[in-house]
Amino acid sequence: MFGRTKTTLPSPDEALRGRETRAFDVPERHVVLDAPVITDVVPDGMEVAVFGLGCFWGAEEIYWQVPGVWSTSVGYAGGITPNPSYDEVCSGRTGHTEAVRIVFDPTVVSFADLVKRFFEIHDPTQGMRQGNDVGTQYRSAIYYTTPEQEQTARELTKVYGDELARRQLGAITTEIRPAAETPYYYAEDQHQQYLAKNPMGYRCHANTGVRFPATA
């Protein structure tokens, strides 16, 4: 690992080995919503969205308040190490980003609306950080679960990117990948719905201050 920094993604050879199964418990029920936390079985008619947008505590809090969202959880996505812990992810040696998994009713809220909110509540130009939070685990990411989600994510990224360019605010660095390419791993109990349990807890909402263009 000599010469690596927390803002450089590890290669498979550099990544921590991880483990075959989760090393900790995840709570059964959501603290805020009337839903389970582990949503590997998705109800008929629901869809899944997975976003990385900095510290997952604040991201989850925002999304559980969106009408049409059935359940949220926080976890680790886009990495190499199987079944990582929070400390391992924060070491920069697993390749994961902190993520929020959202199960939603598309007849109430569209994936496009979730993506627009995604861009407005963080700064997608900052690369391997959000505000004062620095490291690969804070990178911006969209992990799409359907071809339609990919198309929407890429189209809306271009729209928002063009708006930021017009304002000379930098290029979008958001990683867009299929969710099936790498597993989503649920985070530890203490991180799930953290801000419902700790209302005065840390929130990082670095953002550009730019609303998504109304014409999109």
171 vs 207: CA distance, rounded Å: 14
**Would you list the domain boundaries of the chain?**
47-197
Q: Render pLDDT for 171-212 as a digit per residue (tens, 0 to 9).
A: 999 999 999 999 999 999 999 999 999 999 999 889 999 999
Is there a catalytic annotation at residue 55?
A: yes
**CB-count burial class (<10 Å; 0-12, 13-18, 19+) for 99:** buried
Asked whether the whole model's pTM tops 0.85, one would answer yes
Q: What pLDDT does 4 receive? A: 53
Coil/strand/helix, residue 173: coil
Q: Render pLDDT for 130-182 as a digit per residue (tens, 0 to 9).
A: 999 999 999 999 999 999 999 999 999 999 999 999 999 999 999 999 999 99
Q: Render pLDDT for 11-22 as a digit per residue (tens, 0 to 9).
A: 999 999 999 999
Q: What pLDDT does 116 receive? A: 98
Catalytic residue among 53, 55, 141, 153: 55
Residue 215 has pLDDT above 70, yes or no: no
Q: Which fold has domain 47-197?
A: Peptide Methionine Sulfoxide Reductase; Chain A (3.30.1060)
Q: What pLDDT does 21 receive? A: 97
Residue 1 has pLDDT above 50, yes or no: no
- Order the strands of the 47-53 sheet from edge to edge: 175-178, 140-144, 47-53, 97-104, 69-77, 185-186
| Distance separating the N- and C-terminal Cα atoms of the chain | 44
Q: What pLDDT does 104 receive? A: 98
175 vs 127: CA distance, rounded Å: 9
Q: Render pLDDT for 64-115 as a digit per residue (tens, 0 to 9).
A: 999 999 999 999 999 999 999 999 999 999 999 999 999 999 999 999 999 9
User: Quick one: which of 143, 145, 4, 153 has its CA closest to 79?
Assistant: 143
**Three-class DSSP labels, 117-154:** HHHHCCCCCCCCEECCEECHHHCEEEEECCHHHHHHHH
45 vs 84: CA distance, rounded Å: 31
Q: What pLDDT does 205 receive? A: 87
